Chain A
Amino acid sequence: MKTNLASHSAISLFTDRQRDPVFAKTAPRWFLLTPGDLCYPVDLMDYLFPNPRNITTLVLFCCVLLVNQGFAQESQRPFNFQSTVKPFLTAHCYDCHSGEGAEGDLDIEGLAADFSSDGNANRWLDVMHAVKFGDMPPPDETQPHSKEKAKLVDWVFQEMVAAGRFEAYRKKLLSPEFGNWVDHETLFSGEINTPPYSPARLWRFSPEIFANKGFGNAKSPYTYVTPENEIRDYGALSIADQSTVQMAIIVADSFLGEREKRGEFQEFGQDPEQLKVPQLQNRIRREFKRVIGRDPNETEQKKYLTFLQQNIQIGGPLDGLKTTIKAMFLSPESIYRMEFGLGEVDEHGRRMLSPDELAYSLAYALTDHGPERNEYIYDALQQGKLQTKEDVAVLVRQLVDEQLLSGTWSRKDLPRIPRFFHEYFGFHRAGTVFKDPERQRQEKIRQWNTDMLIFDASLLIEHVLRKDQDFIANLLTTNEFFIAHPGHNEYARERYEERLAEVTDPGFIDAQVAKRQEQIERDFNFKEMPEKAQQALESTRKEAGRTVANFRKALEQGIYSHPGFPFTQKSRGIGDLLYIGPYNLPSSGRIDEQIWPWPLEQPITMPPKQRAGLLTHPAWLAAHSLNEDNDPIHRGIWVYTRLLAGVLGDVPPDVDASVPTDPHLTLRERMEPLRADRCWKCHRKINPLGEPFEVFDDWGRHRLHHYFDENNHIYLRRDGEFDRKLREDKLTTRPVDATGAIRFSGDPEVDGEVNDAVEMIHRLAHSDRVRQSFIRHLFRYFMGRNEMLSDSKTLIDAERAYLENGGSFKSLVVSLLSSDSFIYRR
């Protein structure tokens, strides 16, 4: 967006206030960027200014820009290249990055201090990012002081502003993948006193909210533009443009077409003269309520009545009505959530959300419906109990106490809570990584049922949520898993006993055969092929016999036969134990002899040296794997960015993502070239965090050895062929190297070498950084935006609430949803 700053009427006032040293220290930071606003909040880009005293200077510089119609002479700029930047570059960069043969082909000494071209500006940004995020100078070189780094950063941004490039850069940082770029230490330092708020905003309805609006089979016209592996629903990135409106028109046509077929518009098939005003008014009220979700006010009622009458005149009653409903569909309120802050203004100039706005915001933070569908929110609104911050805290507490886990397994009362865990951990994407069926067979995964693995992982989360003590650490370290279980012990027992009674009944086999007979007669035309029907019945008899035998045997051995769970409200359908291989458990089909003593009471305790929390769950491991192998790089990125709030620069465009193939080497050995200097400056942050997961294979099975065949090729089969080769001593083994290191936790007690993922996770789980990083991501999810430095108090309060309540997730939710960041707009 172009900025035309020159003619702004608020300049003098603004400048005077910024000159006030008290204001500069205590007030939120403002920055004039857009002509449409009096001022623009600069907090969002606060990380740009690690040296707060420079804010006033830079603001003054921007005012000079205003006066000079968007351009300032270099001599007028507060940060001078020669005196501010060059000494830094000379001390830390030029040695390696000068002239021909400069490291990484980056000649910084020869790089003109000119931001007018894309190429130069981008190179300077690369230099700034490398310094800011600690990638450069290399770790073994003298490290510059943070104040020195800050000068370089300040200068780069000053030049970006002067070249008119800053706005595009700032917008890029609104995306979730740049959330961690806001300085972590500063956020939690307690030094920031700015009262928190969110910018007033339009927020396009999410696809999930649209799907619940009750428009029949209409598909959502909305798509997310955020990356699939990030928090998805970001207010500032949700766009409704021409293509969305076109889609919405198509959706409206389909919705109206279905209703017309059902005869819902019959009264509009008549002579227009017969349609009286009260009838039209009544219709408008009903349709408005249905499409927009509330009653129209008087003005709206009038406006739509006039519109409907015009339409009837142009196109007749039926098409006139349909056009009117279409207008409701396409109206701003149907497309967008609006959070302007219509409540009172406080002494900091922040506008509180009105009770109505609060009801909607809370409803959409926790559910995919408006407030009328949640009794607690609706009652609070009706009873006038959404007036204050305390009111909000009371309501959210009530919601999490009563509804955090309520609902059925597939339809939760607060569906946005489980969705957070999906978006944060990404385990729900396990099924999106294709695994070759032939490899699956050879590697002895009898069934690759990622839906079941994901369900099991969800039960693990619910279990930890139910305890709600030391939540983050427990979620990351628990070895209490649910496997092939509905998640409720009472129901599991009920179903088991029902099945036991059924199978041990003397008439069971005959009953199964009779049932099959009935089914054949009803569904298949086997009259002409009696022998086929006979075969089917025999096979049923045989299967029933085996089921009985298996049950008896299990009873003798004192183990529970898996009863199979149908799809009901109480449980997801769980057919058998065929899919449990990824847990290092012996699988068995419906009529196979059951080897694993399936525990009726769950959770079960998994071997503590093999499993520690969600990151060692096959669902997470599968979701973060490649088609044919593990994915240590993305696992490392996940740990670094999600648990350590780490920052990675943009992936260089020339990165070749493929790892060289060599059948003689393990994946870890094949990744050795990444330890070359050029790669290692980024990969040192991620590989040591991803490689400890080599203690699992890409199906999620724990392993201690790699096998190699006679040709010294890595041997991956685990089927009969593997057993034979092992027996014949044709395989050699080497221990898995899953060592790694934690280096960026900010805590010397946590940093250090680790032997494998389990050890690493135990070390990380209790660290301050991991707890704070989790809170930052939960903040992003609820607020629909990246944090700003001015959100510091919200985050610190949330962490305090969590700790003071024994590590309570519920308290965290209450704190964030009743925070100033959530309820104030500016």
Chain B
Amino acid sequence: MLMTRRRALQNLSIGGMSVAMASCLRSIHAHGLAEEQTLPKRFVFVVKSSGIDKYNLVPPGLGNHFIHPDDGKKLGNRGRLQGPLVNVSLADHQLPEKLASLESFKDRLTILQSLSGVGFRGNHTKGFGTLSLHDSETVAVAPTLDCLLGRHLSTGPYPMYGMAMNGRLLGNDKAEDSYCYPNLSAYGAAKPVAYQASPRKAFLELFGAAVTSPAELNKKLALNGNLMDFLNADAKRVEKQLSGEDRERFDLYLNSFQSLQKIEQKKVALRERIQQHAPELTDRYDETTPSARIDSHFEIASAALISGLTNVVTLRPDTLGVKYTELGLSDHVHGLGHLAENRASNGWTGHQARMEIEKLHIRAIATMAEKLESIPEGDGTMLDNTMIVYMSCSSGDHHCEGYDWPFVLLGGLGNKLNMGRYIEYPKYGTEGHRTVGNLYLSFLEAAGLNQQVTFGQPDSNLNHLDTNGPLHELMA
């Protein structure tokens, strides 16, 4: 049943709270209870472009299968050396240089190497296929992992929330100031999710309640309720003239008014919490350097999770067109991907430049982890129930073939995953090799969504291997 304006106003008024909102708050306040089952679970996907290098993700002292044994040079796609399953504790090893800023979280860090995701197209990105594991570079054909998890886990207004540097993979480095489509997340076929590119707008959308007076907020909500009622009535008039398929499509539009009202209701229910945890709105949200925008995106994402606005966030810290000028680089991310041993504008080799960019992302992840660690939840902290996943839409190299797809996991999911490990699977096609689909199944199982044996498009070149179910090595 659609809500009338009056009812909506009653629900939305700050003084009174809808019964419907109670569950939302119950879940958020569950951290007061010690029972693990009731603790919320959260995910943060940080999906960089241009690949995450795998050769410098191996802890020193372990055999590195991603470099040439003679000259120590990085091996290309599909070039990794043969080797058995490696599953060791990070406690016994030094972290690779680029993960140094995660040293204090070593026990909650797991590095996964050599999972494969093959069979879907994309020269520089798998697009939606990154998180849906379908051949889906530019057009969404299936729900993506973050949206699936968001729908299952989030009790706040947003099933998932995305922020990106800009929407075009090969776009320029000009900061976008609005929503964009980075082609990463989708609720289903033809339902791509727009990401917010502007930190300021993201702030106002998520934490507007924190900087608005109660009277202003009430006025805004009342106007919005009136608007949604009007549109609803207007749209119903048209709906009567429609039939079959058109009506089905039109209902998506019509229902959106109702769901947008629900978002507002849920935000009102969270007002106190939003005010408590909202970051400060300052001019830094208007800065245009990539690192400043990345820091803002991470800051807003952390606060959104802590406030209970959502349980799943996907961040797109760069695209191929981004130039990290603050690192002295006038080359864009794409150009760096082709440099290899050649020198970038600041004198770094292409490999070095790529590592420094990854370090910059890792530092932002470390800051986020510190914030989550500072919030008690159950017997531990929020970080114990939040999984931050650092990955790339282009697998393990600038040109994504998907044979070796590295993942860096940080945090926990209520002790359901083995953390503090370096796990490297055998080479693609050989006994013991596992896929990204198995990793995603592990996430789903840990999140309590364990109905499937496979995830995404199967790779029939691996028919001879067991590619069902979650990663045994990762599951606790």
Select from chain A the residue with minimum beta-carbon distance to B459.
A654
A755 at the interface (CB under 8 A from B): no
B251-269 vs A, CB cutoff 8 Å, 1 = contact: the mask equals: 0110111011000000000
Chain B neighbourhood of A237, CB < 8 A:
190
Chain B neighbourhood of A652, CB < 8 A:
460
**Contact in complex: A434, B179 (CB < 8 Å):** no
Given contacts A202-B246, A314-B222, contact A651 B227 (CB under 8 A): no
The complex places the Cα of A219 from the Cα of B166 at a distance, in Å, of: 13
Given contacts A315-B223, A653-B457, contact A242 B181 (CB under 8 A): no
Q: List A residues 224-241 near B (Cβ within 8 Å).
A: 225-228, 236-237, 239-241
Select from chain B the residue with minimum beta-carbon distance to A235.
B246
**Contact in complex: B223, A242 (CB < 8 Å):** no
Contact of B179 among A40, A247, A326, A654 (CB under 8 A): A247
**Contact in complex: B123, A627 (CB < 8 Å):** yes
B272-288 vs A, CB cutoff 8 Å, 1 = contact: the mask equals: 00000000000000000
**Contact in complex: B231, A315 (CB < 8 Å):** no
Select from chain A the residue with minimum beta-carbon distance to B134.
A653
The complex places the Cα of A303 from the Cα of B244 at a distance, in Å, of: 28
Chain A neighbourhood of B105, CB < 8 A:
none
Given contacts A40-B244, A201-B246, A654-B460, contact A240 B139 (CB under 8 A): no
**Contact in complex: A327, B457 (CB < 8 Å):** no
Contact of B255 among A201, A242, A320 (CB under 8 A): A242
Chain B neighbourhood of A250, CB < 8 A:
178-179, 201
Select from chain A the residue with minimum beta-carbon distance to B238.
A332
**Contact in complex: B256, A245 (CB < 8 Å):** yes
B451 at the interface (CB under 8 A from A): no
Contact of A242 among B238, B246, B256 (CB under 8 A): B256
A254 at the interface (CB under 8 A from B): yes
B222-239 vs A, CB cutoff 8 Å, 1 = contact: the mask equals: 111011001100110010
Select from chain A the residue with minimum beta-carbon distance to B198.
A250
**Contact in complex: A653, B250 (CB < 8 Å):** no
Q: List A residues 754-784 near B (Cβ within 8 Å).
A: none
Chain A neighbourhood of B334, CB < 8 A:
434
Contact of A36 among B226, B247, B461 (CB under 8 A): B247
Q: List B residues 142-166 near A (Cβ within 8 Å).
A: none
B173 at the interface (CB under 8 A from A): no
B199 at the interface (CB under 8 A from A): no
Chain B neighbourhood of A223, CB < 8 A:
181, 192
**Contact in complex: B231, A330 (CB < 8 Å):** yes
Select from chain B the residue with minimum beta-carbon distance to A230.
B139
Chain A neighbourhood of B252, CB < 8 A:
239-242
**Contact in complex: B253, A332 (CB < 8 Å):** yes
CB distance from B263 to the nearest CB of A (A): 9
**Contact in complex: A327, B219 (CB < 8 Å):** no
Chain A neighbourhood of B227, CB < 8 A:
311, 323, 326-327, 330
A335 at the interface (CB under 8 A from B): yes
Select from chain A the residue with minimum beta-carbon distance to B254.
A332
Given contacts A223-B192, A627-B123, A656-B118, contact A323 B246 (CB under 8 A): no
B194 at the interface (CB under 8 A from A): yes
* B contacts with A: majority SS: helix
CB distance from B233 to the nearest CB of A (A): 9
Chain B neighbourhood of A335, CB < 8 A:
253
Contact of A227 among B139, B170, B224 (CB under 8 A): B139
**Contact in complex: A653, B458 (CB < 8 Å):** yes
CB distance from A783 to the nearest CB of B (A): 16
**Contact in complex: A200, B243 (CB < 8 Å):** yes
**Contact in complex: A320, B259 (CB < 8 Å):** no
B191 at the interface (CB under 8 A from A): yes
The complex places the Cα of A720 from the Cα of B473 at a distance, in Å, of: 55
Chain A neighbourhood of B138, CB < 8 A:
227-228
Q: List A residues 452-506 near B (Cβ within 8 Å).
A: none
Chain A neighbourhood of B249, CB < 8 A:
202, 236, 239-240
**Contact in complex: A200, B246 (CB < 8 Å):** yes
Given contacts A237-B190, A250-B178, A314-B226, contact A656 B259 (CB under 8 A): no
Chain B neighbourhood of A436, CB < 8 A:
338
**Contact in complex: A241, B191 (CB < 8 Å):** yes
The complex places the Cα of A36 from the Cα of B247 at a distance, in Å, of: 9
B59 at the interface (CB under 8 A from A): no
Interface size range of chain B in the complex: 35 or more
The complex places the Cα of A570 from the Cα of B345 at a distance, in Å, of: 39
The complex places the Cα of A780 from the Cα of B244 at a distance, in Å, of: 22
Chain A neighbourhood of B255, CB < 8 A:
242
A290-319 vs B, CB cutoff 8 Å, 1 = contact: the mask equals: 000000000000010001001100111001
Chain B neighbourhood of A340, CB < 8 A:
241
**Contact in complex: B460, A657 (CB < 8 Å):** no
Given contacts A314-B226, A653-B460, contact A246 B231 (CB under 8 A): no
A655 at the interface (CB under 8 A from B): yes
Given contacts A227-B139, A323-B227, A653-B457, contact A246 B260 (CB under 8 A): yes
Given contacts A36-B244, A200-B243, A310-B226, contact A319 B259 (CB under 8 A): no
Chain A neighbourhood of B248, CB < 8 A:
1
CB distance from A169 to the nearest CB of B (A): 13
Chain A neighbourhood of B461, CB < 8 A:
654, 656
The complex places the Cα of A33 from the Cα of B244 at a distance, in Å, of: 9
CB distance from B37 to the nearest CB of A (A): 31
A658 at the interface (CB under 8 A from B): yes
Given contacts A310-B226, A653-B119, contact A241 B460 (CB under 8 A): no
Contact of B244 among A37, A243, A311, A656 (CB under 8 A): A37
A447 at the interface (CB under 8 A from B): no
B14 at the interface (CB under 8 A from A): no
Given contacts A223-B192, A226-B139, A239-B252, contact A245 B118 (CB under 8 A): no
B162-184 vs A, CB cutoff 8 Å, 1 = contact: the mask equals: 00000000100000001101000
**Contact in complex: B190, A225 (CB < 8 Å):** yes
B299 at the interface (CB under 8 A from A): no
B401 at the interface (CB under 8 A from A): yes
Chain B neighbourhood of A434, CB < 8 A:
123-124, 170, 334
A68 at the interface (CB under 8 A from B): no
B377 at the interface (CB under 8 A from A): no
Chain A neighbourhood of B123, CB < 8 A:
434, 626-627
The complex places the Cα of A240 from the Cα of B223 at a distance, in Å, of: 23
A432 at the interface (CB under 8 A from B): yes
Select from chain B the residue with minimum beta-carbon distance to A299.
B237
**Contact in complex: A243, B191 (CB < 8 Å):** yes
Select from chain A the residue with minimum beta-carbon distance to B190.
A225
The complex places the Cα of A240 from the Cα of B192 at a distance, in Å, of: 11
A244 at the interface (CB under 8 A from B): yes
Chain B neighbourhood of A323, CB < 8 A:
223-224, 226-227
The complex places the Cα of A526 from the Cα of B344 at a distance, in Å, of: 29
B93 at the interface (CB under 8 A from A): no
Given contacts A236-B245, A323-B223, contact A653 B135 (CB under 8 A): yes
Q: List A residues 310-361 near B (Cβ within 8 Å).
A: 310-311, 314-316, 319-320, 323, 326-327, 330-332, 335-336, 338, 340
B22-54 vs A, CB cutoff 8 Å, 1 = contact: the mask equals: 000000000000000000000000000000000
**Contact in complex: A314, B223 (CB < 8 Å):** yes
Given contacts A250-B179, A315-B219, contact A242 B460 (CB under 8 A): no
Which of B181, B191, B231, B234 gathers the greatest number of chain A CB atoms within 10 Å? B234
A34 at the interface (CB under 8 A from B): yes
B193 at the interface (CB under 8 A from A): yes
A174-205 vs B, CB cutoff 8 Å, 1 = contact: the mask equals: 00000000000000000000000001111000
Select from chain B the residue with minimum beta-carbon distance to A650.
B135
Task: List, sorted by A's number, 6 A–B pairs whose CB atoms are closer than 8 Å.
Answer: A33-B244, A240-B252, A242-B252, A245-B253, A314-B223, A335-B253
Binding site for A on B (CB under 8 A): 118-119, 121, 123-124, 135, 138-140, 170, 178-179, 181, 190-194, 201, 219-220, 222-224, 226-227, 230-231, 234-235, 238, 241-250, 252-253, 255-257, 259-260, 334, 338, 399, 401, 457-461
**Extra contacts besides A228-B138, A434-B123 (9): CB < 8 Å:** A1-B248, A202-B250, A237-B190, A239-B249, A307-B230, A310-B226, A314-B222, A330-B231, A656-B118
